[in-house]
Structure 1
């Protein structure tokens, strides 16, 4: 097992990519602490991932607040003894024209995506140092690499670009501490995030239309991204740090 005896924190772990990653980490022997805003959803997800409750814990709270990150790290240390891996997977997404964005929109993207990543890393890294190192994997976005005319998303893209930049800066600063920091940058992945601004009927009609956007011929699934997150967090990727890896079915190759 790749993560036997290891402890993983996943911010944004109650559904979609975060939930899929949590499942794979547990399957590989890890103890996992997940975070999200909705406690009822965290409880349900935790039960599904590990009915015994022995390998999973959760902390509900707003990850844009440093106090939530402090509580999350404390839960991992008190319950499982430390931290080896941090996955920052929080995100919100709603295509919006630049001139239509309101001040609260920009603040929300910065809070959920950028502040959450900054604070969790800031609190978790000292605990990783105590374990002799660790790995951080951030979920970035293809939209921070390449603009897509059909889905205007300036605030989202700017916040995700900040997450990409933070990835590279942390990788350089903490390489000496044996802490690797990487990010994945997915294109269209079929997760519940689309239900936040479309009805179920609209989602079922709209998402299939993006299959051909990817040269490989299909949208991504949470498990596609989770597999890569787990790989980057593992010792198999011990010589990889400071990278933002596109997971896009070839989409950015076509756009470039």
Structure 2
């Protein structure tokens, strides 16, 4: 599905209330659009308040500025969902950060810390803030945006890849802890996705050639689109996936085979 195509509604989401972090662009925005098209009420949380407001206005949702590395901001985002819509059913921990490919010994301490703060701590803080509201609603679903690089790394990503390995495993840990609360927790593990972050992943002076090389390594012959990943997130969040928890679902065109 192209970015300009209308999202096709998925079953099992109608009437649900969903919170999406990093919801103003890329995978997050595609997720917001698909959730709304599927009948969910959506809270768009993003560090960019203006972009979050634009996304929320587009789908008739609610916007909140949130830095996922702040426990207070995560709690406020959850409160916005409950105060506005009365409950919370779905949380997409999607906010993410990467750097240009950099040898491990050259990554700055600041970049390393920031990558883990957003990709791991941010997902944990968001989930931690949401558990109480999900329990109050009788259960729900959390979906963490991990990465295939959390399972299979490549040179230059000694901060990003371990952070995504931790994010993938965070989903598994939360799944074990909260199954008894009726809360399912899964992760999606995308391959390189055609978003504004792609330039950093390719990290070259010839992005067209780098993209072609990368696409040639994917059995299905292309990069992921934000809509590809959003479809997986929304499926895992829906009632159609009611017996799935602790899953890390590759959305990678076969690259991790």
RMSD of aligned Cα (Å): 1.9
Equivalent residues of 1:2, 1:29 under 8 A apart: no
Question: Aligned to 2:94, which of 82, 86, 89?
Answer: 89
Q: What aligned pairs does 1:185-200 form with structure 2 within 5 A after superposition?
A: 185-195=189-199
Over 3 Å counting, the alpha-carbon distance change for 1:70 and 1:140 in structure 2 is same
Matched, 1:160 2:170: no
Q: What aligned pairs does 1:1-256 form with structure 2 within 5 A after superposition?
A: 2-47=12-57, 49-50=58-59, 53=60, 56-94=61-99, 95-149=101-155, 152-195=156-199, 203=207, 206-253=210-257
CA offsets per residue over residues 4-25 of structure 1, 9 Å max, x none?
A: 2210000111111111111110
TM-score with structure 1 setting the length: 0.91
Moved over 3 A (4+): 195-199, 201-206
Structure in which a larger fraction of residues adopt helix: 1
Q: Alpha-carbon deviation of 1:82?
A: 1.3
CA offsets per residue over residues 69-122 of structure 1, 9 Å max, x none?
A: 011001001111111000011111222110111110111011111111111111
Over 3 Å counting, the alpha-carbon distance change for 1:46 and 1:205 in structure 2 is farther
| Secondary structure at the counterpart of residue 252 of structure 1 | coil
Q: Alpha-carbon deviation of 1:205?
A: 5.4
Equivalent residues of 1:8, 1:33 under 8 A apart: yes
| Secondary structure at the counterpart of residue 192 of structure 1 | coil
| Secondary structure at the counterpart of residue 251 of structure 1 | coil
TM-score with structure 2 setting the length: 0.90
Equivalent residues of 2:191, 2:251 under 8 A apart: yes
Q: Alpha-carbon deviation of 1:204?
A: 5.2
Q: Where does structure 1 lack aligned partners over 5 or more consecutive residues?
A: none
> What is the aligned length?
246
In structure 2, what is the Cα distance between the partners aligned to 1:198 and 1:224? Answer: 19
In structure 1, what is the Cα distance between the partners aligned to 2:188 and 2:202? Answer: 25
Equivalent residues of 1:64, 1:119 under 8 A apart: yes
| Secondary structure at the counterpart of residue 8 of structure 1 | strand
CA offsets per residue over residues 220-248 of structure 1, 9 Å max, x none?
A: 10111111111111111111100111111
